[in-house]
Amino acid sequence: MPTVDIGPLGQQVASNVKALRGSTSLRELESRLRELGRPILASGLVKLEAGRRRVDIDDLVALARALRVPPIRLVLPLGTHDATEVLPGWTVDTQAAVRWFGGEGRLSWGLTQDEYDRRFGRGAQDPATGLYEWYEDPEADWEAGAGPALLLRRHEQKVADWDDARRIARIIAPGGGDQADDIRARLQAWAEEELRGVRAEIRRAGLVMPKLPAELAHIEVEKGRGDAGR
Q: What is the pLDDT of residue 2?
A: 52
**pLDDT tens digits, 158-215:** 999 999 998 999 899 888 788 889 999 999 999 999 999 999 999 999 999 999 999 9
Look at residues 189, 185, 216 and name the one whose alpha carbon lies nearest to residue 177.
Answer: 185
Instruction: With a cut of 90, say whether residue 36 has pLDDT above it.
Output: yes
Give the mean pLDDT of the chain: 87
- The pLDDT of 56-71, averaged and rounded, is 96
What distances in angstroms separate CA 30 from CA 24, 38, 62, 162, 199, one per listed residue? 10, 9, 11, 43, 43
Instruction: Note the pTM of the prediction, 2 decimals.
Output: 0.74
Q: Which of 223, 226, 194, 224 lies closest to 210 in space, CA to CA?
A: 226
Q: How many CB atoms lie within 10 A of CB 57?
A: 8
Contact 18, 84 (CB under 8 A): no
Give the model confidence (pLDDT) of 115-158 as tens digits.
777 878 888 888 888 888 888 877 777 777 888 998 999 999 99
The domain made up of 8-75 has a fold known as: 434 Repressor (Amino-terminal Domain) (1.10.260)
